[in-house]
Amino acid sequence: MGFRPALWMTICSLIALVLLIALGSWQIYRLQWKAELIAEFEERAHAAPQAVIAIDANSPQRYQRVTAEGTWLHQYEVQLIGRTYEGTAGYHVITPLALTDGRIMLVNRGWVSQKYRMPDSRPSTLINDLVLVDGIIRLPAQKGYFVPENNLEKNDWFTLSIADIARYHSLDGQLITNFTMDALRDREANTLPIGAAVDINLPNNHLQYAITWYGLALGLIGVYIAWHRAAGRFGRVKS
């Protein structure tokens, strides 16, 4: 059976096919990379905790398990708006912790419902004694494009910005600026704030993306064949 490919359609289709296959293969590579990254983070989060004052502040490791001993500075607490827990809207409580070495570190103590936003509504959380906090290191994150800016005049906080909190509470030069800490929840006690789970939940959707690109490549081949068949470019030319 003869096949007479259309020149420009064939050239354009080949270029598009190579591009689609390359994009699919890139997603397979990213899939493997993300899986290894998640495994690395899981290993860090479940490792034996290290004292936060002993880690290198200039090169902190994301999700490293740490403990922090110090005193809460409740007067500098802020609450992050728009956080949910099991489908219920609320806030994340951010409280500076004065470490035993003199530095101050921001700690995300966890979630509270709207009813318990203000500190005086949850006096049991206002601990003044020396505490030992179990948690994981978090590196500063970029604000999402659609997330509002923190409104310091109204004390409305949408992102955990170390610089904004330092400026708002006049803590410039005192806060650790390279990382913060997420306090882990106590699974044995049902207390507020509800801290973070030790499980690492990073999205890994690269397999779906790869299937999409490879599927488009197969679809392109199908369209290419169907067009040539409809144009009578399969079979012998009638003399």
Contact 108, 79 (CB under 8 A): no
Determine the pLDDT at residue 221. Answer: 95
Determine the pLDDT at residue 26. Answer: 95
pLDDT one-digit tens code per residue, 109-154:
999 999 999 999 999 999 999 999 999 999 998 888 889 999 999 9
Same-domain status, 7 and 109: no
- With tokens 């999700």, the residue in question is 63
Can you tell me the distance from the alpha carbon of 159 to that of 150, in angstroms, rounded to the nearest whole number?
7
**Other CB atoms within 10 Å distance of the CB of residue 138:** 19
Tokens of 54: 């002993």
Can you tell me the distance from the alpha carbon of 92 to that of 80, in angstroms, rounded to the nearest whole number?
5
**Other CB atoms within 10 Å distance of the CB of residue 45:** 22
Determine the pLDDT at residue 90. Answer: 96
**Model confidence band, residue 95 (pLDDT cutoffs 50, 70, 90):** very high
Can you tell me the distance from the alpha carbon of 210 to that of 218, in angstroms, rounded to the nearest whole number?
12
Radius of gyration of the chain measured on its C-alpha atoms: 27
Percent of the chain with pLDDT over 70: 96
Same-domain status, 225 and 179: no
Helices (H) and strands (E) in the chain, counts: 3, 7
177 in a structural domain:
yes
Name the average pLDDT for the chain.
Answer: 91
Same-domain status, 163 and 119: yes
Domain that includes residue 11, residue range: 1-46+211-239
Q: What's the rounded mean pLDDT across residues 176-182?
A: 94
54 in a structural domain:
no
**What is the pTM assigned to this prediction?**
0.75
As for how many domains the chain has, the answer is: 2
103 in a structural domain:
yes
pLDDT at residue 237 tops 70:
no
Same-domain status, 99 and 12: no
Find the helix or strand (DSSP H, E) in which 70 lies.
strand 65-72
**Model confidence band, residue 238 (pLDDT cutoffs 50, 70, 90):** low
Same-domain status, 93 and 167: yes
**Model confidence band, residue 197 (pLDDT cutoffs 50, 70, 90):** confident
131 in a structural domain:
yes
8 in a structural domain:
yes
**Model confidence band, residue 2 (pLDDT cutoffs 50, 70, 90):** confident
- The more confidently predicted of residues 43 and 74 is 74
Same-domain status, 152 and 89: yes
Residue of 189, 76, 169, 195 whose CA lies nearest to 126: 76
Same-domain status, 94 and 160: yes
Same-domain status, 75 and 178: yes
Q: What's the rounded mean pLDDT across residues 68-84?
A: 96
CA torsion through residues 143, 146, 149, 154, sign: negative
Can you tell me the distance from the alpha carbon of 212 to that of 88, in angstroms, rounded to the nearest whole number?
34
Same-domain status, 178 and 69: yes
58 in a structural domain:
no
Same-domain status, 76 and 164: yes
Determine the pLDDT at residue 236. Answer: 66
Same-domain status, 71 and 164: yes
178 in a structural domain:
yes
- The more confidently predicted of residues 164 and 41 is 164
**Other CB atoms within 10 Å distance of the CB of residue 187:** 9
Same-domain status, 82 and 176: yes
